[in-house]
Amino acid sequence: MTQPPAFKRAPRPEGKGETAAPSGTSRLNKRMAELRMCSRREADAWIEQGWVLVNGLPASMGQQVTLSDRITIDKAAEQQQDRQVTILLHKPMGYVSGQAEDGHEPAITLINPRSHWGGDPSKLRFTPPHLRGLAPAGRLDIDSTGLLVLTQDGRIARQLIGEDSEMEKEYLVRVAYTGHENTAAATAASATYGGKANQLTTIGDFDRVSANVQAVFPKALLERLRHGLSLDGKPLKPAKVDWQNPEQLRFVLTEGKKRQIRRMCEQVGLKVVGLKRIRMGGVQLGQMPAGTWRYLGPNEAF
């Protein structure tokens, strides 16, 4: 089965070969996306269908509009939008978020009637058209589990992964401390735990603390996780990072660089041994078992 492409952030145009827009105007599809009417791609499709009016007149592709222009859409566009679905999947390990790669199946293959969670409060029934144009809004690494959103709705994709998105994403992260930043702490921990093999494992010249990591992890490094790290040469936005229990951290991020949490942890001597996303915006993973999915309910919002 051919898989639909994942929603991706559109690259910023460099202006090469383009005619500059008049001052104070923007392309109609961009303005419609800013107004959260639809995605740019949907806007173009609606314009082609004749479903978009600007100041009461049929819109044209590539049309420039001002902030004062009145944009309206036909009932047919609204009805099409109402039929779009958003699916919440509890992704297990071993599945990739988007296109199949390196022999690993994409998460969308888990969306079928058999894996539809019995506790879904939406009462919607699965039909094959719900897979048409369904794409992940964001990614979750192959070795991570938890909430993955797949949607047909460009408005939701923009909310979650648009270039101006500030959507919170919450993770529970089980860690071990390698002591690379503080060898004295690792040595003390080894003595405290009596060198038990199930709690400490040698990594080169360091011990890995996997029980009561909180007791040995320096508070100054916790502050660095919250703010002060950089990835790919760019400072990271402030993050909320706190201990959920002695072996597990809770991260709340408003950005989503590739393998961000794992790379942040590596910089402060932590090794991620388990990562689960439990919330995106106002939507929780809840009690849904791994490998099952449900529909976003009509009263839920990110």
CA angle 125, 292, 140 (to 5 degrees): 120
Q: What is the mean pLDDT of residues 263-288?
A: 96
Residue 178 vs residues 54, 201, 207, 248: alpha-carbon distances, Å = 60, 9, 6, 15
Q: Where are the domains of the chain?
A: 26-81, 83-167+283-295, 169-280
- Report whether pLDDT(168) > 90: yes
pLDDT on residue 193: 38
Token duo for residue 23: 């001052």
Specify the CATH architecture of the domain 83-167+283-295: 2-Layer Sandwich (3.30)
How far does the chain reach from its first CA to its final CA, in angstroms?
Answer: 30
The more confident residue out of 64 and 12 is 64
pLDDT, averaged across the chain: 84
pLDDT on residue 236: 96
pLDDT tens, position by position, 35-81: 878 878 888 988 998 999 999 999 999 999 999 999 998 888 887 77
pLDDT tens, position by position, 141-167: 999 999 999 999 988 988 898 877 889
Between CA 28 and CA 71 the distance in angstroms is 9
Token duo for residue 235: 């400072």
pLDDT on residue 90: 98
pLDDT on residue 72: 92
pLDDT tens, position by position, 86-142: 999 999 999 999 887 777 899 999 999 999 999 999 989 999 999 988 999 988 999
Domain 83-167+283-295 matches domain 169-280 at the CATH topology level: yes
pLDDT tens, position by position, 234-255: 999 999 999 999 999 999 999 9
pLDDT on residue 206: 43
CATH match of 169-280 with 3.40.190.10: no
Between CA 251 and CA 259 the distance in angstroms is 13
Q: Any idea which fold 26-81 has?
A: 3.10.290
